[in-house]
Structure 1
Amino acid sequence: MTSLSPQPHVSDEDRERGLKLLVTEAAFSGGAAALTTGVILTAFALHLQASNAMVGVLASAPFLAQLLQLPAILLVERLRARKRISVWSSVAGRLTLAAMAGTAFFTGTVPLAIFLAAQILLCSMNAIGGCAWNAWMRDLAPEDRLGRVFARRTAWLTAINLLLGLAAATALDMTAEGSRARDTVFAGMFAAGCVTGLISALIVAAMPEPLMPPSPGPVRLWQLLRQPLRDANFVRLLRFVGSWQFAINLATPFFTVFIVRQLRFDVSFVMVLSVVSQAANIVSLRLWGVLSDRHANKSVLTVCAPAYIFAIVAMIGASQFDNRLLVAGWLILLHLVMGAAVAGVTLASTNIALKLSPKGSATAYVAANAMVTALAAGLAPILGGLFADFFSARRLELLLRWTGPRGDLALPVLLTSWDFYFLIAGALGLYAMHRLSLVAEHGEIERREMVNQVISETRRTIRNISSVAGLRAATELPASLLRDARIRIRLARARARIEQRKRGSRQGRKVSGRI
């Protein structure tokens, strides 16, 4: 039987075995997440006739559960058994997926309450286990290989998430809404997620855990958070983070509800939009990383944050078009923009929090940033869900009329339900940008210059991957060699003429000397 106790000494062989298991485990934990979170979770809630308020609570649960990481720090410090905490919290959390699977065959308030309670418990266990997991992995993986190991793990997670997510959405589209077959599909997905999650816990139990170093003393949370809350510039950053997270999470958790219920698209199309957004996120991440290192994180935020806010507000356009193909294209375009923009916002906001943290106190500053993020991102969808019924019964109609010699042109604009949320999120996003302008960071540049840098880097990237540019470079290479050859020939001829003149002048001096 595998021991859950830490090891006083971890050999190189055990460490290598643990790193291989770390990558393998990603396939199972990623499978569980793909089948039970994100779009699938929201679709299951809608299948159970969940209200907008419940959808908001489901969206807020992962964020608010992160607040449990603070007491989890005390638990880890007291027990000093990170693997035991990770494994048992994982088992307890994944077993709730079995209860959620059982609710697929029932209707009413009780199944919805069980579904919601199970999701909250799952998120809570994930937060507690994640705290122990992060500290454990930091000691297990060598520092010089940390990036490579987790890059492979992330690649597995991304691939599994995309493939299983699309497969699950396709299976849902093959069944009729409200049918017994769809009940079975949802139950099967969450049951499979439970099984793969438990397999993940077994693999985690087989990984070695190095013994934690002796404790320097008791950890007091208030003392830990006191220093960042006294830093005026960091407090300004926290105000930006809080207002930003509240703005984007007021509307974005309801995108699936908006697209499925109001626009009448299938769940598979929502998954395609998710894939498009993730692809844009991955492709643009390197660009934002280069620009944030070269200039400043705040400069990246001044470009990415407005672009993301614009995309949220522009979602209103999807409800104004009558052509379904045009609506689909518009949604794909917006998700490309949001995927690229959120990559820059996430990277830059994390980096700036670390950059503004004094050396030796980064843990306290990052913890304060995480707390503000969890509170703002957790409260926003709850309030959004509570206000949803209010907006669903109201609408605002504007009529734009152009009158000219050749007649009149009328353009009606109708705002209903979620359109109000997108506008409110846009207004709150503008306020967040104002809070960002008050944060001081060394090395920041103006927004126009950053936009020029983005265009320049994008052109360089496109040139590198374009076949036309590749052919152009291939034809430019011989031309450059010819130019170099011509220059060398001209230099050789010039040197020969100079040398000839020198020889001529020396011969002239010799002749005059003889005379």
Structure 2
Amino acid sequence: MGVLVAVPFLTTTTQIVSAKFVEKRSRKKIAVFASLLAKNSVLAIAISSFLDGPYEILAFAVFYLIFNVCEDLLTVSWSSWMRDLFFGARMGKTLSRRLAYGKIAAIPVFILQIWLFEMFDKSAFPFLFFLAFLSGIASVYFLKNIEDVKSRRMSEPRLIPPLKDSNFMKWTMLNSAFCFSMNASRTFFAVYVLEVLGYPLWLILLFAFVAHLSSIYSLRLAGTISDRFGNRPLIAISMFSFIISATLFILSHFEFSLYFLILAYILHGFYTSAPQIAFMNAVADMTRRKHSAPFYAIGNWMQDIFSALGSIFGGLVLSNFVFLGENAFLVLFAISILMSLLLFPWLSFYDEFGQPTRSAVLSLPELFLEDLNILYKGMSKKAISSLKRERREL
């Protein structure tokens, strides 16, 4: 079991290796191939769950390894591809919209997942893997229809330039440190809700669905913040959202737990999706066309490493404070909050041409209302068009 847990941690080196060749070939073809192979690995895992004995574990381990390697290859090729395809003044808005499409497509699967767990409990896992395969194939179809960037890098990609870029390293270390503090607690939020608060599994999945819906809108808002104010304010707002969310998890232990948890998972959707927009946009600003893959590879690799270390750290904290019983989780959440607070001074070390974080924070209500107005006008326009079409048909 320990080997299986370590697989995602070990396969992150694939991103470093892939940076050496993805920009010398068609990044779209690499991304589509890696995504298709990863989704077929999920199907193989679903089928292997019907095997008995050691063969089931062996088959799961092999296809789980293939899945993680392909996902890491997809991450680098897709990031470099999107950087060259959408780079510009409104990259955040365009990129966030693309990411949101995939999350919207996953909504029916999420609802079906909750129903399956309510009906079949743990016996639903094979069906869930099969659903993941079907939704994954749909995502491959959308990926295949995105415009390709035909240019190819002729020079040999090198991994040294990102390490010599002090501004990139400051940004990457800030994001990695946030991944560490966030994952120290986030890994155990569901365990806390299930074991300490005693909520059923289907309700935890419902909370996850709330976070998923929140992330769809959060991507839209994050793209707007990134384009208008910069990436530093966006990561600052993400850290502040995590602090509030972790605080709500602590408060849920005492009173009004359901309401606090709903708010916490709404914020969860923002601080887990917005940093991706901030990181991709920041790297796009720092790099030239066809030269971003090594930067994305090293940045993603460091964030994955620190995320894994954060989860390990969270487990160690819980084991060392086991004598506190249920309160050990509260101690862990408090430590994560403290670590995140200590990261705010680091923001000043990252050099970015953008507006102050304070301006972005004060403009959030205005941005929110403005965005709601845009959504309302768009929905009204579609409704009117639909009515006119129906009248013409009559």
TM-score normalized with structure 2 length: 0.74
Using the TM superposition, give the Cα deviation of residue 68 of structure 1 relative to its aligned residue in structure 2, in angstroms. Answer: 0.6
1:394 aligns to what? 323
| Correspondences of 1:271-310 after superposition (within 5 Å) | 271-310=205-244
| Partner of residue 334, structure 2 | 423
Pair member with larger Rg: 1
Q: Secondary structure at the match of 2:198?
A: coil
Q: CA–CA distance in 2 between the matches of 1:451 and 1:361? A: 33
Which of 129, 153, 164 aligns to 1:190? It is 129
**Residue of structure 1 in register with 2:367 after alignment:** 457
Asked if structure 2 preserves the Cα contact closer than 8 Å seen for 1:250 and 1:381, the reply is yes
- State the 1:243 CA deviation: 0.6
Q: Contact 1:93/1:126 (CA < 8 Å) preserved in 2?
A: no
| Structure 1 residue 216 corresponds to structure 2 residue 140 | no
In 2, Cα distance between equivalents of 1:72 and 1:353: 17
| CA RMSD between the two structures | 4.4
Taking a change above 3 Å as real, the CA distance of residues 154 and 338 of structure 1, as seen in their structure-2 partners, is: closer
1:345 to 275, 290, 296: 275
In the TM superposition, what is the alpha-carbon distance from 1:463 to its structure 2 partner?
A: 6.3
**Following superposition of structure 1 onto structure 2, how do residues 36-435 of structure 1 map, counting pairs within 5 Å?**
58=5, 62=8, 65-74=11-20, 76=22, 83=29, 86-87=32-33, 90-91=36-37, 94-95=40-41, 97-99=43-45, 101-103=47-49, 115=60, 118-129=63-74, 131=76, 157-175=102-120, 182-183=122-123, 185-194=124-133, 216-219=154-157, 224-321=158-255, 326-357=256-287, 361-385=291-315, 388-391=318-321, 393-395=322-324, 415-416=327-328, 418-435=329-346
Q: Deviations over 1:73-101 (max 9, x none)?
A: 44557887974885477347624543455
Other structure's SS at 1:394 match: helix
* Paired position in structure 2 for 1:439: 350
Q: In the alignment, is the contact (CA less than 8 A) between 2:24 and 2:152 conserved in 1?
A: no
Question: d(CA) in 2 for partners of 1:355 and 1:206?
Answer: 26
The amino acid that maps onto 2:297 is A
Judging changes above 3 Å, is the alpha-carbon distance between structure 1 residues 328 and 117 closer, same or farther for their aligned structure 2 residues? farther
CA distance in 1, matches of 2:107, 2:263: 19
Letter in 2 for 1:367: A
Asked whether the 8 Å contact 2:20–2:294 carries over to 1, the reply is no
Deviation at 1:291, TM superposition (A): 3.4
Deviations 1:271-326 (A, max 9, x none): 322232232233244444333333332233333312212212431222233xxxx3
Q: How far is 1:441 from its partner?
A: 1.9
Between the two proteins, the alignment pairs up a number of residues equal to 375
Alignment partners' CA distance in 2, 1:363 and 1:465: 35
> Unaligned 5+ residue runs, structure 1?
1-49, 397-413, 471-515
Alpha-carbon distance in structure 2 between the residues aligned to 1:61 and 1:332: 32
Q: Is the 8 A contact 1:86 1:132 kept in 2?
A: no
1-structure distance, mates of 2:273, 2:132 = 27
Partner in structure 2 of residue 406 of structure 1: none
Distance 1:419 1:113, change over 3 A: farther
Q: Which residue of 2 aligns with 1:3?
A: none
2 CA distance for matches of 1:79 and 1:357? 19
> Structure 2: where are the runs of 5+ without partners?
381-394
Question: Normalising to structure 1: TM-score of the pair?
Answer: 0.59
Q: Percent of aligned positions with the same letter in both sequences?
A: 20
Once the 2 structures are TM-superposed, how far is the Cα of residue 244 of structure 1 from its aligned partner?
0.8
CA distance in 2 between counterparts of 1:84 and 1:359 reads 18
